[in-house]
Structure 1
Amino acid sequence: MIARDSETGFSLVETLVALAVIAGMAGILFEAVAANAQAASGLARRREAVMLAQSLLAQAAMPPGPGELAEKGEWNGLAWRFSRRPIAVGARDSGLPLEEVRIDVIAQPGGRRLVSVRTLRLDR
């Protein structure tokens, strides 16, 4: 049996539908890749903020001197605030003078807090 020309191959409508499905799937794929890249960028920024907070905390633990830590500053697009306050000694405590040290690292363009570190240490 001989096939007619109109029955062989794909019609134009079938080809256009297939291309539309492929374009839709590619759009979904590109959106997922962009969201993944944005999340990775945010994670890298947060990692920078954690490293900055750890560095500032180590600097705050050093004895007082000419290089004493300022109350606030900025580094590489990250703003940071440093504060310390004495802790009242309760009846259960050992009577050692303690202070709370707090460091907040904030994303500069948005003002969103990325990291907040608090610890207790012996008062100087």
Structure 2
Amino acid sequence: MMGARPEEGFSLIETLVALAIIASMTALLFDAISLNARMTERVARKREAILLARSLLAQASIPDGQGAMAEKGQWRTLYWRLSHRTIDGGARDAGVPLEEVRVEVFDGLSRRRLTHVQTLRLGR
């Protein structure tokens, strides 16, 4: 009788284990890609909010009443709010009143604050 031939190839169990490992790694990869896409979107929204806030602050900081603008508004899906507060004392030497100007930008969907910027300007 001839000797039994050794088995060639992979068994069903080995194949299933390999497929399970590949499926797990693929799921982890898709999760990482999804997280990256969400973070990229969040960074883009934050950057857009910062640019809007800086633009509004520059416009609101123009002296002599030329920078008069609405106290709140909307641009695309971002909402913004402008506030003024008089600083008591002003410039010490000249007695010039100072005013704090603050711009806050909110996400239109979640209503959470994305950024805020503030500066001082001469009072009106």
- Given the two structures, how large is their TM-score scaled by the length of structure 1? 0.89
Q: Indicate how the Cα distance of structure 1 residues 87 and 3 shifts in structure 2: closer, same or farther if over 3 A, else same.
A: farther
Letter in 2 for 1:107: D
2:5 matched to which residue of 1?
A: 4
- Given the two structures, how large is their TM-score scaled by the length of structure 2? 0.89
Q: CA deviation at 1:119?
A: 1.1
2:8 & 2:34 partners in 1: Cα distance? 41
2:111 matched to which residue of 1?
A: 111
The question of whether the paired residues in 1 share the 8 Å contact of 2:49 and 2:115 is answered with yes
Q: Structure 1 segments of 4 or more deviating over 3 A? A: none
CA shift digits 1:76-103 (9 cap, x unpaired):
100000011110017x933321000000
5+ long unaligned stretches in structure 2:
none
Q: CA deviation at 1:3?
A: 6.7
Letter in 2 for 1:64: G
If each structure's strand is expressed as a fraction of its own residues, which one has the higher value? 2
Count of residues in correspondence between the two structures? 121
What's the C-alpha RMSD, in Å, of the aligned pairs?
Answer: 2.0
Q: CA deviation at 1:68?
A: 2.4
- Aligned identity (percent) is 54
1:93 matched to which residue of 2?
A: 92
1:80 matched to which residue of 2?
A: 80
